[in-house]
Structure 1
Amino acid sequence: MTIVVTGSSGLLGSALVASLRGDGHEVVRLVRREPAGPGERFWDPREGVLDPAALEGADAVVHLAGASIGDHRWSESYKRELVDSRVAGTRTVARALAALEGKAPALLSGSAIGFYGDTGDLAVDESAPAGKGFLAGLADRWEEAAAPARDAGLRVVLLRTGVVLSRDGGMLARIVPIFKMGAGATLGSGRQYVSWITLPDWVAAVRFLLAHEEVSGPVNVTAPEPVTNAEYTATLAKALHRPTMPVSAPRFALRLALGEFVEEAVLAGQRVLPRRLLDAGHRFAHPTLGEALTAVL
Structure 2
Amino acid sequence: MSALVLAVLLSLVSAVAYAAAAIVQERVAASAPSSAYAPVRRPAWWGSVTLNGLGATLHVAALACGPLTLVQPLGALTIVFALPMSAVFIHRGAGAAAWRGAVMASAGLAGLLALTQGSDAGAVAMGPRLILAASGFAAVAALFMASRASHRAAIRSVLLATAAGAAFALASVFTKSVAEDWHSGLPLVELPILLATAGFAASGLLLSQASYRGAGLAAPLATVTVVNPVVAAAIGLTLFGESFRYGSAGTAIALAFGVVAAGGLILLTAERPAGAGRRNPVMASGPAPGADGRRGDDRDQTSTPPALR
TM-score (norm 2): 0.26
Structure with the higher fraction of residues in strand conformation:
1
Which has the bigger relative contact order, CA under 8 A and spacing at least 6? Answer: 2
